[in-house]
């Protein structure tokens, strides 16, 4: 379960004061971890793996919002 440990370590990492390129790398890393965890989940149906994937997805969305900017509510 080395991948689970890697995902938990990524989840705990601070994401403040990152450059744009660091955010891009973090977003790609989160995507890689989520996809690999998904393969494990398909076989095991372990709810703990699903919970980790959900938390990583939430963190990835926050990073991507910061990269792309918030949508304009006036539109």
pLDDT tens track for 19-68: 889 889 999 999 999 999 999 898 989 889 899 899 999 999 988 888 88
Q: Domain range spanning residue 58?
A: 2-11+30-67
Q: Which residue has the higher pLDDT, 31 or 70?
A: 31
**Looking at the domain assignment, is residue 74 inside a domain?**
no
Give yes or no for a contact between 23 and 67, defined as CB atoms under 8 angstroms apart: yes
**Looking at the domain assignment, is residue 57 inside a domain?**
yes
Residue 12 has pLDDT above 60, yes or no: yes
**Looking at the domain assignment, is residue 47 inside a domain?**
yes
Confidence (pTM): 0.81
- Give first-to-last CA distance, the chain, whole Å: 46
**Looking at the domain assignment, is residue 73 inside a domain?**
no
């Amino acid at each position: 379960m080395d991948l689970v440990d890697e995902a938990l370590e990524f989840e705990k990492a601070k994401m403040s004061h990152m450059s744009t390129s660091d955010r891009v790398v973090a977003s790609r890393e989160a995507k890689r971890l989520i996809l690999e965890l998904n393969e494990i989940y398909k076989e095991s149906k372990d709810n703990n793996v699903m919970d980790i994937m959900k938390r990583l997805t939430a963190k990835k969305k926050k990073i991507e919002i910061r990269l792309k900017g918030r949508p304009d509510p006036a539109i």
